[in-house]
Structures are given as structure tokens and as C-alpha cells.
Chains A and B, each alone.
Chain A
Amino acid sequence: MSDKKTDTSAEASGGHTAGAFDIRNIIGALLAIYGVLLLAAGLFMDTEEAKTGGVNANLWTGLALAVAGAVFLVWARLKPIIVPADVERVEDDPTRPAPRRRPGGH
């Protein structure tokens, strides 16, 4: 995305970046949200150190998750997945009912 040239050449061949569909963005977002929430809980709420044995567990886990989430988001930004335009369709998993594409369906 930062490089306009790759972007347009990818578009010329019919491809584009996966964007929000990139699973790293989804993982990164969830981990970052969880991280920030835990961080806040560790800073402003009862840390219940009798349970954890004297460690502010929420704070440290929150910090780790926030960092991990950021790593995923940055990774997705730096090396975006280019989706080619002409991939064959994924056959849907027959063991999981999904909204099905039916030829000529109503």
C-alpha cells in the first residue's frame, strides 16, 4: 500500500490487497483491543494480587497482547497479501453448512 507502483501493477494484472480480509489485521485488532483493556484493568482496577501471587497479571498480559497485536498490524501493513484476480474458487467445506452458492439458485 505504501508503494503506489506495486499497487497499480497489481491492479493492472487484476490483483489487489486483501485489506480488511487479511487475517493478520483481524488477529491484530482483536489482540490489541484485549491488550488495551487488560492494561487499563491492570492500572485502574483491583489487581487481586492474593490470587496471582503478587504479580499484576492483567497489566503484564495486557502489555504483551498489545505488543503482539501491534506486530500483526504492522506486519500486515508492511507485507500486504496481494489477491490475484483469477484464482479458482475454494470448494466450501461440506462439513460446515454455509450460505451456499448454487448455480441458478433463487
Chain B
Amino acid sequence: MNALAHLALPAAEPLIDANWLDYTFVAIYFAFVLGIGVMARRSVSDSIDFFLSGRSLPAWVTGLAFISANLGAVEIMGMSANGAEIGLPTVHYFWVGAIPAMLFLGVVMMPFYYGSKVRSVPEFMFRRFGKGAHLVNAISFAFAQLLIAGVNLYLLGSIVHALLGWPLWVALIVAAAIVLSYITLGGLSAAIYNEVLQFFVIVASLLPLTLIGLHRVGGYGGLKDKITAFAESQPAGSKVAPAAQQLESWPGQALSGFDSPFWSVVGIVFGLGFVLSFGYWTTNFVEVQRAMASKSISAARKTPIIGAFPKMFVPFLVIFPGMVSAVLVKEIIDLKGGGSPPGGASGEGVKYNDALLLLMRDILPNGLLGLAIAGLLAAFMAGMAANISAFNTVFSYDLWQRYIRKDHSDDYYLRIGRLATVAATLIAIFTATLASSFSNIMDYLQTLFGFFNAPLFATFILGMFWKRMTATAGWVGLASGTLSAVLVAFLSEDAFGSLSQGVIPLSGQGASFVAASTAFVVDIVLSVVVSLATQPKPASELKGLVYSETPREDLVDPEEASLPWYQRTLPLAGIALVMVLVLNFAF
């Protein structure tokens, strides 16, 4: 019966009432993206203007592309969902969970990447540890990309569903087809152009949304009053966090789910701030490559640091709308009060993930609504395209070429790559249905990052600074770290959704922080133990791969000292650090 109901199109009233004007905004955006793709394509055949222009991009452009490559589904939908559910502590994902790691990347890691010519994580693993660690890393990376692509596809599909009212599975297939065609356009330069463009469209749509939202609830003061009144109206024992926890960022119990304020701070600083975020930012080559595209070590180092400045203020654009939504949109108020309102972007009941879409429906006039839809579509498409492409590269070159079919022609691997792209898109439709079972997409993503990024970061950082670490320790650490995180998630209350057993009394994002920290610690301990029992590589093979074996002059830019202070890496990083500290005290 259900299946029959699904076949009738359109199955539901559209959530969002878009008119021709809104679709015009979307169409114009697609025309621009298409135009950039055509320019990139033409320049491949007859001239290299496009790529040359790409090489001379100024630092602010690569800086914006750097954060824009990350300003996708997670940031926009995940953070607004979090804002609606738990309020202000969500800012930790930015001020603790991103800025320090971005500064560390710029100050410490970037010279190393730039100097050692390492271009991808699997490549580093292969050169540093050999086949074992490379194989484990390549498989887990490919797997992670498919799961995260599913998250992006699910959010993209939910917008299509919200606009047209199609059932989610039809929306997913349509969205997958759109992404597949988008992927075939443009290379790195086109990607950077699109990302910078996307950044401005997203800011142009989220800023009015935030301002109008705050205006509707009577400014920030009015928002605080309404959240307080709502929290107090809830019966004792409800899941809604007390107003004080929703309106102060520290100690963030609403975020970590820990009862003790002390352990909450430890969990956020170590689990989120150190393991998860350093793991994410320092090993995420989708973003690191934006910086590599610049012309000198100095410019490459400054890319994440310049990106840190706008990044600091992104939370206001995504978290405030979520918080406003929780006191203004009747479905979200109902949901937060313990109800289960029907409908929503997935068609299976309203979730926190819908907070932003519903707020757009309620407060944006046609016109601005179209601008916002264009921005969201752009962000999710680019996000999923990046996941699929990353999967494709690792699958065809790191797995297929190295372990299955060696020494074939370029054409052969390109064909395999194309097949991998199509296959990955199809698989993403299934991982998207997996993602749709989580009410707050952020819980799911943090769990995934804990599985994949935390052990990777542990192995990476240990292998980079400790020359004694051996090849066997490389793959043992990675594999055991991932397995231990999976085990913790499995034993927790809900980090694995319905698969979790509830043996350990942890839920929400606190559980994923603990899973990530466990993975990190297990990885480090086992790596050290195994290293001491096995034979290290000779020092001559570690040049450019281990810090102490890399010549100093490979790590510095001789021209840096001649720049004025405000263009040098360290003073800029210092200013960013001070600003983020001030923000932490202010909220």
C-alpha cells in the first residue's frame, strides 16, 4: 500500500511555495556555473588562460575557497539543526572545533605539506608506512566518502522534496542525476571559482534570513527571552536543555550530553577541539589543495589563516536562524516540546534538520526565497561532487591501479574512474536513506568523523613527528583505532542509531566525542607498542616525510620577512587567535 502511494506523483503538498521568480534565481545560478564550466573546458583545448588566471588568484580568493569547500551541508543544515536543538553551545564547532585547527594547519603543517610535496593522505601513508597502512587508509577513506556523499545527497534531495513535494526516493534519484552532470564540469580552477561564488550567494541569502529572523523575535534580547520562556514552560524531565545551557556557550553540557560541567569542557576541548577538528582540518586534502594552488609557501600558509576570519562569523549566520526557528516555526516548537509533527523535508515527520528550510518558508518573501534555495542547492551539490570525486580518485588510482590491475593505459583508468563515479552516485542514494534516519544530521556526521578522521590524525601526527614509528605500527594503529571507535559507538545509546546497544550511558554528540577520543588514544598506544617491537625504516627514506628528517630551508619562505607585518603568517594567526578568544568570552 505504501509502495503504491509512493508511485503517485506529486505525493504531497510542497513544503515551500516557490514561484517563477524563485526559479529564476536558481536558473541564473546554474547558468553561471555552466558558463564557468564551459570557460574551463574551452581553455583546455585552445588556451591556458583560465588556468593561468587561476594561478594568479589573490590570497583572499583562495582563503574564501578554503572555507567555502567546507561550507556545505554540514555547516548549513547541521549547524542550524544543532542551533534549534541545543542553542548557542553549537558555536564550539567553530570557535573550538575549527579556528585553532585552521591556525595550526597554517602555522605548522602547511610548510611541511608544501615542502615535502605530499599531495594526498593515501600518498603520505604509502611513502611513510608502505602498503599495509596505505590499503587500510584507502579503503576507509573511500568508504567514508560514500557515507558523507549520502549526507549531502539526502539534504539535496530534501530540498527537491520541499520544493516539488515528490517522495524522498524520487527526489534522491533526481538530485543524484543533477550532481552527476555537475561533476563532469570543470577542474580545480573551475571548482575554486564556483566555491567563491557560492560563498557570496550563501552569505547573501543567510544574512537577510538571520536579520529578518532576529527582527521577528524582537532582536537578540527577544530571542533570549523566548528561549528562556520556552525552556521554563517544559515539564521537568523533558529533553529540552535549561535556558542557561542554551544561551551560554560554556560549559556546553547541552552539546556534549555530559552531566558534569568539568567533563563537558574536557570532552569539548579534547574530543571536539583536538581529536576531531585537528583530524578533520589537517588531513582533509579537499581543503588543503585549495591552499596548495597558491604561489608560495607564504601564500599557502596564509590561506587557512585568512579563511579563519570569515569562518569565525559563519556561526552567526547558521546557528541564529536555527535558534530563531525553535521559537518561531510551529513545527519545530512542537518537535522541541516532544511532539512529532508530520511532514518535513523527508516527508517522514519534521526533524531538526528541517529548521532552516521551515524558517525560510515562514519569513522569506518570494525572491529572497529563490536566492536562498539557489545558495543551498549550490552548497550541497558542490559538497557531494567533492565527495564523489575524492572517492573516484582513491578508488581508481589508489585501489584499482595499485592492487588490482597494474600497468594499463591512461584511457583504461579514466574509464574505470567514470564507472566509479556512476557507481558511487548510485551507492550514495542508499547511504542517503541511511542518513535520513538520523533526526540531527550532525550526530551522524560526528560519529563518522570519529571513525575515520580521529585514527587517521593519530597515525599521521605520530608518523610525522616520531621517526621510530614503523610500517607495521602504521596499519595496526589505523585499523585498531577505527575498530575501537566503532565499538564505542555500538555500545553507546544512539551514536549508531538503532544499532547501538546502550551499554555505555552516552548519547548525542558526547558519544561521538568519546568514540573519537578512544580511537585516538588506542591508535597512539598501539602504534607506540608495535613500533617498539618492530624494525623502523632507515632515516634516509624518511626525508620530507618526518619533521626531524626534513631540511629547515624546505619549510620557510625567504620572502616572508620582507612583507609588512599584516601580511605575515604569524601576526595574522595571532590576531585570529585573540579574536576567537574574545568571542568565546562574549557568548
A residues with a Cβ closer than 8 A to B are 18, 20-23, 26-27, 29-31, 33-34, 37-38, 41-42, 45-48, 51-53, 55, 57-58, 60-62, 65, 68, 81-85, 87-102, 105
Contact B191 A61 (CB under 8 A): no
Partner of B200, one of A31, A62, A94, A95: A31
Query: Can you report 7 A-B residue pairs in the complex whose CB atoms are below 8 A from each other?
Result: A18-B53, A30-B201, A52-B215, A52-B216, A93-B191, A93-B389, A98-B190
Chain B residues with CB below 8 A from A102, complex form: 410
Type the 1/0 row for B38-52, where 1 means its CB is closer than 8 Å to any CB of A: 011100100011111
Docked CA distance A92–B292 (Å): 11
Contact B50 A34 (CB under 8 A): no
| B583 close to chain A: CB less than 8 A | no
| B245 close to chain A: CB less than 8 A | no
Q: Given known contacts A38-B367, A41-B21, is B386 in contact with A90 (CB within 8 Å)?
A: no
Docked CA distance A13–B177 (Å): 46
Chain A residues with CB below 8 A from B32, complex form: 26, 29-30
Closest residue of A by beta carbon distance from B213: A53
Which residues of chain B in 34-70 are interfacial with respect to chain A, using CB atoms and an 8 Å cutoff?
Answer: 36, 39-41, 44, 48-58, 61
B residues with a Cβ closer than 8 A to A are 21, 24-25, 28-29, 32, 36, 39-41, 44, 48-58, 61, 119-120, 183-184, 186-191, 193, 196-197, 200-201, 204, 208, 212, 215-216, 285-286, 289, 293, 362-368, 371, 385-386, 389-390, 392-393, 397, 410, 414, 417-418, 421
Closest residue of B by beta carbon distance from A38: B367
Contact B57 A95 (CB under 8 A): no
Chain B residues with CB below 8 A from A65, complex form: 204
Q: Given known contacts A58-B367, A88-B55, is B285 in contact with A95 (CB within 8 Å)?
A: yes
Closest 7 CB pairs of A and B: A98-B187, A93-B188, A41-B367, A21-B53, A48-B365, A95-B390, A96-B389
Contact A38 B196 (CB under 8 A): no
- Total A-B residue pairs with C-beta atoms closer than 8 Å? 168
Task: For the complex formed, measure the closest distance between the CB of B394 and the CB atoms of chain A, giving whole angstroms.
Answer: 8
Chain B residues with CB below 8 A from A60, complex form: 208
Docked CA distance A30–B25 (Å): 10
In the complex, given contacts A23-B196, A51-B363, A51-B364, what are 17 additional A-B residue pairs having Cβ atoms less than 8 angstroms apart?
A: A18-B53, A21-B39, A23-B193, A26-B197, A29-B32, A34-B204, A48-B366, A51-B362, A52-B215, A52-B364, A61-B368, A81-B56, A90-B55, A90-B189, A95-B390, A95-B392, A96-B385
Contact A97 B204 (CB under 8 A): no
Q: Given known contacts A18-B56, A61-B368, A97-B392, is B197 in contact with A52 (CB within 8 Å)?
A: no
Contact A52 B212 (CB under 8 A): yes
Closest residue of A by beta carbon distance from B123: A94
Partner of A95, one of B53, B367, B393: B393
Task: For the complex formed, measure the closest distance between the CB of B39 and the CB atoms of chain A, giving whole angstroms.
Answer: 7
Contact A95 B286 (CB under 8 A): yes
Chain B residues with CB below 8 A from A85, complex form: 52
Q: Given known contacts A41-B366, A61-B208, A98-B40, is B25 in contact with A34 (CB within 8 Å)?
A: yes
Docked CA distance A64–B119 (Å): 40
Q: Given known contacts A55-B215, A61-B208, A92-B188, is B367 in contact with A97 (CB within 8 Å)?
A: no
Q: Given known contacts A38-B368, A45-B21, is B397 in contact with A101 (CB within 8 Å)?
A: no
Chain A residues with CB below 8 A from B56, complex form: 18, 81-84, 87
Docked CA distance A91–B208 (Å): 38
Task: For the complex formed, measure the closest distance between the CB of A85 and the CB atoms of chain B, giving whole angstroms.
Answer: 8
Contact A94 B120 (CB under 8 A): yes
Closest residue of A by beta carbon distance from B188: A93
Contact A96 B188 (CB under 8 A): yes
Task: For the complex formed, measure the closest distance between the CB of A57 and the CB atoms of chain B, giving whole angstroms.
Answer: 6
Chain B residues with CB below 8 A from A101, complex form: 44
Closest residue of B by beta carbon distance from A48: B365
Task: For the complex formed, measure the closest distance between the CB of A23 and the CB atoms of chain B, giving whole angstroms.
Answer: 6
Contact B212 A96 (CB under 8 A): no
Task: For the complex formed, measure the closest distance between the CB of A75 and the CB atoms of chain B, giving whole angstroms.
Answer: 11
Closest residue of B by beta carbon distance from A94: B393
Chain A residues with CB below 8 A from B61, complex form: 23
Closest residue of A by beta carbon distance from B24: A37
Contact A57 B293 (CB under 8 A): no
Docked CA distance A17–B461 (Å): 43
Partner of B188, one of A53, A61, A90, A105: A90
Closest residue of A by beta carbon distance from B145: A95
Contact A46 B365 (CB under 8 A): yes
Contact A99 B44 (CB under 8 A): yes
Contact A90 B389 (CB under 8 A): no
Contact B28 A23 (CB under 8 A): no
Task: For the complex formed, measure the closest distance between the CB of A92 and the CB atoms of chain B, giving whole angstroms.
Answer: 4
Contact A95 B364 (CB under 8 A): no
